[in-house]
Chain A
Amino acid sequence: MSKELKYWRGVEELENTPEFTKLKENEFAEQLPMDEFLGDSALAEGKTPRRDFLKFLGFGVTAATLAACETPVTKTIPYLFKPEEVTVGIANYYASTYYDGHEYCSVLVKTREGRPIKVIGNEMSPVTLGGANARVQASILNLYDAERLKGASKNGAPVSWATADKEIGDKLAAIAGRKGKIAILSSTIISPSTTRAIEEFTTKYGNVEVVQYDSVSYAGIRTANALSFGKEVIPTYHFDKAETIVGIGADFLASWLSPIEFASQYAKGKRIAAGANHKETKLSRHFQFEAAMSLTGSNADLRTMVKPSDLGVVAINLYNEIAKAKGKAALTGRSLGKVDANIAKAAKELIASAGKSLVVAGSNNPDVQVVANAINDMLGNYGNTIDLSVANETKKGNDKAVANLIAQMNAGAVEAVLLYNVNPVYTLPNAKDFSAGLKKVGLRVSFAANIDESAAECEYVCPDNNFLESWNDFNPRTGEFSLGQPTIAPIYNTRQAQESFLVWAGNPTPYADYIKATWQAKTFPGSGFGSFTDFWNKALHDGVYSIGGGLAVETAPAETVAPAKVDEHGEHATPHGRPQAEAAAAPVVAAAIAADPAALSTAAANLNKIKGGAFELVVYEKAGLGNGSLANNPWLQEMPDPISKVTWDNYITMSLSDMDQFKFNTINGQEQLSNVAEVVVNGVSIKLPVYAQPGQAKGTIGIALGYGRTKAGKTANNIGANAFPAVSINKDNGHFEYNAFDVKVTATDETYNLAGTQTHHTMMGRAIVKEATVDAYKNDAKAGNAPILLALSDGTKDTPGNVNLWEDHPRLNHKWGMSIDLNTCIGCSACVIGCQTENNVAVVGKDEIRRGRDMHWIRIDRYYTSDMTEKKAEEEGVGAIKKFLDMEVPSESPRVVFQPVMCQHCNHAPCETVCPVLATTHSNEGLNQMTYNRCIGTKYCGNNCPYKVRRFNWFKYADNPQQFDFHMGDTLGKMVLNPDVIVRGRGVMEKCSMCVQRIQEGKLTAKKENRRPIDGEIKTACQQVCPTNAITFGDLNDESHTVTKHIKEPRMYHLLEEVGIQPSVFYLTKVRNVSESEL
């Protein structure tokens, strides 16, 4: 193309004047404005001006230098009364709990000098198993959100708490006096003390209804279990005990129900222990049936694309296959063509591993859940992989009650509405009805932290504390409790919602004491502790407390040694210190109740009625933004979506072939604009750019929730479009339906620039991610990991490790290394946020990301398989050009691999040899060090890095709110920075340091205790938060370290080993539980 075009250097060249031809020979073709520059006569002739110039220059330079050197007087202000537990310079960890009504996670909060700076998972929690996903970790930034309300407000204007309490109290009393109805619309309440506080409130005001509402509803499961088993609960699932897992539209690794817990459990079935006999490898097998490519689907061994309207039929057909084998009556189903083959395969394997299998369905339609229940019941999974006796309490929203409340509000039957932890104007599909109803309510109070979409329609906003400023208690599942404790005094004049309830109920007890009283009455009796204080201190220290019941749960990760947690008194806590831990290992409860057959046939009949249109829509949650409650969080906005790698936006995902029909641009890049399409669903129009998503079922599209906020704050407002209006309410059963079966998609003339961090999606036939099938691995432990041989000058061949351009240096002390198990990495991106928090990585904004200037020190490369392979090209005689062009195109239904890539700390690092100022050097412990204060920003190192993991500070990203108005731009946001890591300035290169600050800290601790660092003692930030323990870090010189075992594994390989740069990071090949024929 470009060959045919001719670009002129200007009008002169186009006209080709004689002057131009002459001037063309010069360096500057244009006339340089020399005369203008020398126009000053004094300059042209004079002697003195030049001298003056030099004088001024000399003076100026010296003056500027000296002025710059003047150090301001630094003040240092010690505590007046230093709290006993604080040692300045040493972090304290406090156990607490994150629960926003959507996500539950038991966490540890790292604080420095009384300021929380990091949230990580609590390994003592039997519920979340030590994991913490991206959202939970990033939530700390919302504490330092300068846009939070600074105090109570009335109609948008600040009002004192006393006035607010007086006015609200009077109004409530007046309503109670005339027996008017007060409604509390709340997210699921799992806090025993909150329940008690609301009960007190109810007692005082009489006619109070509490309606629990989940923005993303799971009411369908509860309804289905009521139908099947007479128990309206959500059971606990045990993916770790399942050998065969079938997911029907359930994204259980990223969003469905309890993803932190499930990711950890799931990884157990995928882990190949170091040193295990490869012939006896046993991996779980995972089938996924879904329309849009989810994180879970991308990890499945066998993924089948199914339209949302067919998902119910998939469940029915699966039931029928199993029923056939078990000699039971079949349900009415229909043929799904090619899909049926995989259903049959799944059924066969489910039967083979009956009792050790698990079928989960993501739909909120109780009919699908009823069929799934019946399948699990037939397989004998209840009591084994599903525990109905232990209920998951975190999702108790009642869709019908919400609809009922809206109807009552519109009928004028509700006199007061209190919105606690919900944002219905944004999250309700029928938000317009809600808003209309809200206008008819006399007293409208919200507890939102800022004036969000719903709070804006309320008269009073009584801002709740951030969870890091609050006392709280939770009961996330039967028999499990956890505590939330404040790690900082409230930054603003906010008040905990529970205290507001208590104040209005006339009870002035501080909420901390109130919780203590609850626990003294509820959990303390029978705990075996001598005094309540002992019990309370233990529970508060651990953050969690079990009173037992349900299936036994392993808390410690399978392979690594659980590190000792240092508590606030600097003592090592014993991981098995819970006196109830043994009691918790209660016997397995068998499911006594069989699934109800009548409910089953009704469900099947309903499912058969669902008919799909030309386009069907899946509304899904992203691993980053979730339901959008944390949207005003630059970390989450900038975190690349694990699948699409797009940041700062939501979009319409569509299959490549559908996009071709619309003639949409399928390539996402800096210069390629995406086409915008209009989707009409439920009478609502949503305009979004279209993104080509391999693995998206033909005739389906997907849109993520959480975007399109209008009143969340400067970071989130007006990014993307809100997909909640695309959620519908099922007319038959009243539940929210997250699939739309007939939507209209039309192309528009508009274009839009999406900012993605990965624009190339296939490996082009190279062995970047190495993988093998499980059978091949059983035969040969080095399957898929053939050694790379380099041709030598003497005609022989050798491995890259033996071919050296440089001398090796002895590593006498430590030799740090990191292994990344590609078999357990699920691509969830928790590590990205973990690293960003730890290392003060800047947020750069959408425009910079679009230019490829992302700053994340760790990226997760995601590759799709292509239909074209080297082998196929050879067999079919495809030419080289066509071969490579085809290789760039991912398959319609590709297999997906994830590969976290950070600085590989090469021992013969190419970046080090090109640095002209020795700003990047190698340590004698094997670390590739980056010295920011030496760096002059030539970027040679970045150019010479084969992994492209070096990041350049193109701008001043901190303290520059005019250009980069993110958390580092304001004083409050900067409170989150880690004081042990410097904030980089403009013009310097940065990259993964392997958390050198943690290494130094760990070494120092060991030295002080007269010993060598033990395995698992020093953890990098990415390793620490990995829910699947895919990352292992340690000393390769120490035989007792797990990483040393990993490097001896036959699965071990170095990325781009052939370059011969001897990285310290290595990968373990992915072993996929598929047969060769399924590839």
Chain B
Amino acid sequence: MTSKTQCSQLLMDRLKTFSVKHFKKLVLVFALISFGFNGYAQPDGEKLFKANCSSCHKATDQKLVGPGLKGARGRWGNDDAKLVKWVQNSQAYLKTGDSYANNLFKEYNGSVMPNQTVSADEVKAILDYVDSYVPPVVVTNTPVAETSGEPAETNWTYIWIGLGLFFVILIIILAPVRRNLANSAQAKQGKVYNPDASFWSETKAWIYSHKKPVMLLGFLVFLMLFVVGWNALSGIGVYEGYQPEQPIKFSHKIHAGENKIDCQYCHTGVEKSKHANIPSANVCMNCHKYIQEGPVTGKGEIAKIYAALDYNPEKGTYGPNPKPIKWIRIHNLPDLAYFNHSQHVKVGGVECKQCHGPIETMDVVQQFSPLTMGWCINCHRETEVKVDSTNLYYTDLKSKFNAVHPGEKFTVEQIGGLECGKCHY
């Protein structure tokens, strides 16, 4: 439900040719501006273009639903009056028998341009904007590390390593000097000077004379290695933070974060099935039939969807050679574990981000949770079952539970959430 409203909202915003609501907003904006300046203001061509035209036309000469507006003035013989009439009521204008307009109508297979309630001045402002429009330079090949990592941290590590190396070299250089100095000092005091004594034999002698601190140090080093080793071993097979590069640089940050598309708009199975579903490419096309260019990667990545579907964005037709998109799976549970999304999301009311983290901020999705059995069990131990009075599955159960275990928390564990056979079969 939410997904649908989200969807329609999005489409409204981006695709609908004209909406009264927007017009009202627009009027309000103008009214405010006029009050503010208390005088006449030039219509803002860019705003008007984005509000009224951009869902079907581009400011360049590329086709979208309709032709690109760049050079439209020239094509219409530099007669703004004709264009204003056309924009305000294209069907009526067609009847005037204008050959260019009629040809255009035929070229676009008789698809009607909706009537726009814009004034002649506004049309002019839009055309002025289009004439002055320069497409932004598209940044391609945005490296992942630059956007997500923090470069300062990396630099500090190198500095530390460099410093460390420097000191080690210093010690190596200075050690013989120190030894010679010490020897000569001892010789002066008349002690036996053993010029053959190696560094190693001296160290050994030193260790013998400082047994306790060395043992303590040794123990500490062992402990440290043990802990490090233990952690390393227990991390085997845990892919927290796994962030593979996907065949299409799909950004959840743009879709879920900036455009606020509901998770379920694409991941439709999450309330119905064990799988949340990776959306099929036809879901992408709901929007990307119209949005052919993105703000970060431009056309390149969106074109990969078209390539997969063998879709021709110019003609709007699907070809006979679609190729499936081979995404890299991030969240891998072993076959022996059964997990069901709908149980957690629909019944348990768990938020997506509880396990998947701040997806809406991730350009490249990474595995947020460890997905270990301990992690599952911990949550089952702590989470209280959400007993909604309308869910008859749980209401009686809760009262029965309270009668047997008064004062205890009604957690997932209590209804068998830790049992082996709930997930392993």
Contacts and interface: CB of A to CB of B under 8 A. Distances in A.
A73 B244 contact: yes
Interface stretch (A78-86, A148-156, A530-538): A78-86
B129 interface: no
A923 B327 contact: no
Interface string B73-88: 0000000000000000
A930 interface: yes
A1006 B393 contact: yes
Contacts of B335: 982
Contact of A1010 (B272, B280, B390): B390
A273 to B, nearest CB: 29
Interface in B319-369: 322, 324-329, 332, 334-336, 338, 340, 342-343, 346-347
A1008 B308 contact: no
A923 B422 contact: yes
Nearest to B323: A80
A812 B397 contact: yes
A87 B422 contact: no
B336 A71 contact: no
B299 interface: no
Nearest to A997: B425
B277 A1011 contact: no
B273 A89 contact: yes
Nearest to A983: B335
A87 B236 contact: no
B419 A924 contact: yes
Contact of B327 (A77, A88, A929, A997): A77
Interface string B151-165: 000000000000000
A411 interface: no
A810 B280 CA distance: 46
A71 B282 contact: no
Interface stretch (A18-26, A416-424, A931-939): A931-939
B237 interface: yes
Contact of A925 (B279, B308, B338, B416): B416
Interface string B385-425: 00010111110110011001000000000011001111011
B425 A923 contact: no
Contacts of B237: 69, 71
A923 B419 contact: yes
Contact of B425 (A80, A87, A993): A993
Contact of B397 (A66, A88, A813): A813
Contacts, number: 150
Interface string B4-46: 0000000000000000000000000000000000000000000
B239 interface: yes
A75 B425 contact: no
B309 interface: yes
Contacts of B281: 78-81
Given A75-B329, A78-B277, A929-B420, A982 B269 contact: no
Interface in A974-1004: 980-982, 993, 996-997, 1000, 1003-1004
Interface in A59-111: 65-66, 69, 71, 73-82, 87-90
A77 B324 contact: yes
Contact of A934 (B346, B420, B425): B420
Nearest to A929: B421
A535 to B, nearest CB: 30
B404 A923 contact: no
Contact of B404 (A812, A981, A1003): A812
A1008 B346 contact: yes
B303 to A, nearest CB: 15
A921 B420 contact: yes
Contacts of A76: 278, 326-329
A927 B421 contact: yes
Interface string B247-281: 00000000000000000000011001111011111
A974 to B, nearest CB: 13
B421 A69 contact: no
Contacts of A75: 326-329
A74 B329 contact: yes
A936 to B, nearest CB: 14
Interface in A484-534: none
A1012 interface: yes
Interface in B169-196: none
A166 interface: no
Interface residues of A, number: 48
A77 B420 CA distance: 30
A1007 interface: yes
Contacts of B342: 1004, 1008
A929 B338 CA distance: 14
A1007 B385 CA distance: 12
Contact of A89 (B275, B327, B336, B416): B275
B425 A77 contact: no
B186 to A, nearest CB: 39
Contacts of A930: 421, 425
A89 B269 CA distance: 8
A78 B425 contact: no
Contacts of A69: 236-237
Contacts of A88: 269, 273, 275, 277
A43 to B, nearest CB: 31
A512 B338 CA distance: 39
Contacts of B279: 78
A923 B328 contact: no
Nearest to A918: B420
B374 to A, nearest CB: 15
B336 A933 contact: yes
A915 to B, nearest CB: 11
Given A982-B336, A1000-B422, A1008-B347, A89 B274 contact: yes
Contacts of B308: 80
Contacts of A982: 335-336, 424-425
Contacts of A82: 280, 282-283
A80 B393 contact: no
Given A813-B397, A1012-B393, A78 B327 contact: yes
Contacts of A1011: 392-393
A75 B273 CA distance: 20
Interface string B228-249: 0000000011010000100000
Contacts of A81: 280-282, 309, 322
B393 A924 contact: no
A929 B423 CA distance: 11
A980 B390 CA distance: 30
A933 B419 contact: no
Interface string A866-900: 00000000000000000000000000000000000
A1006 B397 CA distance: 14
Nearest to B334: A933
Nearest to B419: A923
B280 A812 contact: no
A810 B275 contact: no
Given A933-B334, A1008-B347, 10 more contacts: A74-B328, A78-B324, A80-B281, A88-B269, A90-B272, A923-B419, A934-B424, A982-B425, A1000-B422, A1007-B394
Interface of A: 65-66, 69, 71, 73-82, 87-90, 810, 812-813, 919, 921, 923-925, 927, 929-934, 980-982, 993, 996-997, 1000, 1003-1004, 1006-1008, 1010-1012
25 contacts: A73-B328, A74-B329, A74-B332, A75-B328, A76-B327, A78-B280, A80-B322, A88-B269, A88-B273, A89-B277, A812-B400, A812-B404, A813-B397, A921-B421, A923-B416, A923-B419, A929-B421, A932-B336, A933-B424, A980-B338, A981-B425, A993-B421, A996-B425, A1008-B342, A1010-B391
Which 6 residue pairs are nearest across A and B when measured between Cβ atoms?
A929-B421, A89-B273, A82-B280, A931-B420, A79-B280, A76-B329
Interface of B: 236-237, 239, 244, 268-269, 272-275, 277-283, 308-309, 322, 324-329, 332, 334-336, 338, 340, 342-343, 346-347, 388, 390-394, 396-397, 400-401, 404, 415-416, 419-422, 424-425
